[in-house]
Structure 1
Amino acid sequence: MFCVARRLRIGSAIPFGCALAALWGAPVCAEGDTMLFTADTLELTGDARVVLVDGERSWLEGGYGKLRSSGAGDDFQARPEIGNLNLIWQPQFSWSLSATVVGSVQGGARSEGGLSQAYLSFRPMRGSSDLAFSARAGLMWPPVSLEHEGADWHVKDSITPSAINSWIGEEVKPVAIEGTAVATFGEHKLRATAAVLAANDTSGTLLTFRGWALHDRTTLAFRRQPLPPLDGELEEYQAPYTHPLLDVHSGFAHRPGYYAKIAWQPPIPIRLEFFRYDNRADPEDVNADLEWGWRTAFDNLSLVSDLGGRTQLKAQVIEGRTRMGYLEPTRRWVDNRFRSAFVMLVRRFGSARISLRAEAFDTGNRGSLVDSEYDETGWSGMIAAHHELGPFTGFVELLHVSSRREDIEAVGLKPCQRQTQLQAQLRMHW
């Protein structure tokens, strides 16, 4: 059997190299557990959808709309779209060492493609003890979301994730080295995770200037996210875009951040999780493109409970703070406190499921340049149903979001914005 290894070149070698550094020492072909290019190591996923939506133009197209697709004001606008296409490669180098590399194409407004995740995984053989260990290193999402799963990080029970996990997908994806220990104490199970991270200095930019949003677009390596129109004073200091995967200071990992998580599974059908994230960016760091360091830290509390009768409850609460700019005189230019919470019920009916979700969110700004005029309050409600049939899954979702922020009056919009979106999606995997 002959195997051929190809060297993949990316515009910047830092995140990709962190994930695939061990590839050069791995044999191209080997006996036993090594699998590089086989049917078991490759997977293709994707979706097509029809969207009916009203309200403002999407933030992806330079507007203030909070959804992935743009509306037509008070009128509904319908369009077919290609959603997300993902090619997943998960080679196995030995029984305990593997890798995950995901290339994605995201359709709709601002269609683009790129590298989604690239990391190594280490899972040593577990003995008879009640303690297990695993590790990851590379470009990846931290273990926060209760709604996403799989190497392609797809949304499990709906089309659109909550505002919390939409923000994680768009602004919280670092390069990290992560370790996890799982211990069993009688009927209790504890999982502890800790990581050192870099290249996430600008996290918080979108959340401040645009506010919360609900969509299934995610950050791709070396790609930038657009910001809504900035007022005259802010245009002088801030680029009209943000690169979430970026070290603003010269050099890699100049000020490494961290995240940590602990999950507790007691001998009842409940799981509790606590997650802490701090990118430790310097708020006064700025590069030649006027992208700044945003010191962003947040706490996330999650609960999953099986209620019986094939019904599951999920809940997440996040609270955090992001700061940017110089002190003038005692307040930084941006000092934004943010929070959101959702409750979700999922009911199974054989191969079909129905999901209900309600969420509230807000931001509070106390900076010297970005003050309470940029505060936001809002809520959303969602109902979704899906049915699985072999490699296909069909979804129908109705989503409504309502929000208020005063600063959008400067561009001629009403402070209170409402959007309703109906989607039908066909999801596929091979």
Structure 2
Amino acid sequence: MMNRILRDVYLTAAISGVLLSSTTANADDFKPFFDISGLADVKISFGDTELSTFDGGFGKTREGDGTNVRLSQAALIGFGQLTPSLSAVAHIQYNPDLQDEVDIFEAFLRYRPVSTGRVRYTTKLGAFIPHVSAENKGRGWTNLFTLTNSAANTWIAEEVRPLGLDFTAEYRGDTFDAEVGASVFINNDNSGAGLALRGFVLNDQNVGIFGEVRIPDVGMRIGQTQAPFREGDDSPGFAVSARLSSEDYGEFIAYYSDNGATAGEPFSNGGQAWDTRFLTASYNHDLPGGVFVNLQGLVGTTETIANGGPLGTNFSTISLLLAKEIGDLQLATRGELFDQNDTSDCPCPFLGETGEALTVAATYRLGDHHRFIGEYLHVSSDREGATANQPASFNENVFQLAYRLVF
């Protein structure tokens, strides 16, 4: 019921943005305008990996075993400048691996008064993904350097989508810029369920606000999914953020979130809430020689109640990306570590794991609209409890070639 209501709200907001953007000029001679941009990825992949989580396995990659050729994703992003200060954004996506192949990734109104001073304020209302890294700043929240997102940003794209109100204040100085923000939100009480029950994964999927995350087939959980964007206890969550940037010293970003859920609180249509808190921070800078570096870390905890006791994990991951442009060619490599410590106190599946990943990618830009991308991904992981709740080790390799149309 809640999802149906929210779907109507988002679609109404998106349609209203289109209609409002086509109105005539106001008394100040401002003319609203509307713009559509987007992207589409056609990909061929070669893998020797374990059964993917999309198919109920514990594999860490999206593609699984064998050779696959397909349209892996597409997105349309509508932008309407309604007044000089008010704009609307709606991001609709297509992903063939998700239960809802067409879904809304983001939809929000943004109020940003025109300012010529050093301080500027911005307010957002709706569903939006937080700005946590310099990697995922491409169109449609795609990665600017690799096909596959880091473990941290894969999880954020899957299970973190505040629905609420966000306020930021920005200071623009002569030698640095600073920004602080705060959000109050609902509808994220199941965030963390997928991460705890499945572990970290690395892929390029963006789960929409009505989407679900596949859970590995273990015990009685056969063919199950978890919908991360649900509200259980009518108690809002909150988030705070900070950003400091300087041309000489780089950019630092920090984001802390507490979904405000009551662990174990039942949802009206089945399942129960997960109490999830996390902190992510990143630093990026242009080094001498034209080398770009991005360091990102994430730590957190998630917990629910099962069989009379807590079920959950502490989780962490850290990644280091290096990239360099040579004309129209960009080369990038990222190494990362991820870890989960089982904090459960019940006769439950073993949830602990450790792992590491290496990604190497090359992107060739042909004009403004065409990208040709090649990527090699290796993931090694050890899980305390996999199939039949037995320890398992996985070594996975995936090679991908992609053509991306950006418009």
Structure 2 length normalisation: TM-score?
A: 0.91
Structure 1 106/243 Cα, relative in aligned 2: closer, same or farther at 3 Å? same
Distance 2:227 2:213 in 1: 6
Structure 1 143/399 Cα, relative in aligned 2: closer, same or farther at 3 Å? same
CA contact (8 A) 2:169 2:179 kept: yes
Residue 91 of structure 1: SS of its match in structure 2? Answer: strand
Q: Which moved more, 1:309-318 or 1:184-193?
A: 184-193
- The equivalences for 1:11-410 within 5 A come to 12-13=6-7, 16=10, 23=17, 26=20, 28-31=22-25, 32-37=29-34, 41-71=35-65, 77-108=66-97, 112-127=101-116, 129-150=117-138, 152-232=140-220, 235=221, 240-249=224-233, 254-266=234-246, 268-325=248-305, 328=308, 332-369=309-346, 373-390=350-367, 391-410=369-388
CA contact (8 A) 1:18 1:139 kept: no
Give the letter aligned to residue 80 of structure 2: P
Shift, 1:111, TM fit: 7.3
CA contact (8 A) 2:307 2:346 kept: no
Distance 1:122 1:321 in 2: 33
Shift, 1:279, TM fit: 0.4
CA contact (8 A) 1:69 1:108 kept: no
Shift, 1:394, TM fit: 0.6
| Identical-pair percentage | 24
Distance 1:105 1:339 in 2: 30
Q: Which moved more, 1:198-207 or 1:20-29?
A: 20-29
Give the letter aligned to residue 381 of structure 2: S
Distance 1:15 1:245 in 2: 15
Q: CA RMSD in A?
A: 2.6
Distance 1:380 1:224 in 2: 25
Structure 1 303/113 Cα, relative in aligned 2: closer, same or farther at 3 Å? same
Distance 1:286 1:219 in 2: 23
Partner of 1:418: 395
Structure 1 172/121 Cα, relative in aligned 2: closer, same or farther at 3 Å? same
Distance 1:291 1:112 in 2: 23
Give the letter aligned to residue 97 of structure 1: L
1:210-254 residue CA offsets vs partner (Å, 9 max, x unmatched): 00000011111222222112324xx5xx992211111124xxxx2
Distance 1:21 1:194 in 2: 28
Structure 1 415/172 Cα, relative in aligned 2: closer, same or farther at 3 Å? same
1:375-425 residue CA offsets vs partner (Å, 9 max, x unmatched): 1000000100001112101100000001011211416x7610111000001
Q: Which moved more, 1:147-156 or 1:310-319?
A: 147-156
CA contact (8 A) 1:69 1:109 kept: no
Shift, 1:258, TM fit: 1.0
Distance 1:18 1:321 in 2: 35
Q: Which moved more, 1:26-35 or 1:289-298?
A: 26-35
Partner of 1:4: none
Q: Which moved more, 1:393-402 or 1:94-103?
A: 94-103
Q: Which moved more, 1:105-114 or 1:189-198?
A: 105-114
1:103-130 residue CA offsets vs partner (Å, 9 max, x unmatched): 1111357671111111111221112x21
Give ranges in structure 1 of 5+ residues lacking alignment. 1-8, 72-76
Shift, 1:89, TM fit: 1.0
Residue 16 of structure 1: SS of its match in structure 2? Answer: helix
Distance 1:392 1:186 in 2: 36
Give the letter aligned to residue 211 of structure 1: G
Distance 1:27 1:353 in 2: 37
Shift, 1:373, TM fit: 3.0
Shift, 1:160, TM fit: 0.3
CA contact (8 A) 1:102 1:116 kept: yes
Give the letter aligned to residue 41 of structure 2: D
Structure 1 length normalisation: TM-score?
A: 0.87
Distance 1:326 1:106 in 2: 32
Structure 1 132/216 Cα, relative in aligned 2: closer, same or farther at 3 Å? same
Q: Which moved more, 1:310-319 or 1:220-229?
A: 220-229
1:308-348 residue CA offsets vs partner (Å, 9 max, x unmatched): 222111010111011111694xxx42131000000000111
Shift, 1:197, TM fit: 1.1
CA contact (8 A) 1:303 1:315 kept: yes
Distance 1:185 1:88 in 2: 31
Distance 2:19 2:74 in 1: 31
Structure 1 124/175 Cα, relative in aligned 2: closer, same or farther at 3 Å? same
CA contact (8 A) 1:81 1:108 kept: no
Structure 1 370/240 Cα, relative in aligned 2: closer, same or farther at 3 Å? farther
Distance 1:181 1:116 in 2: 25
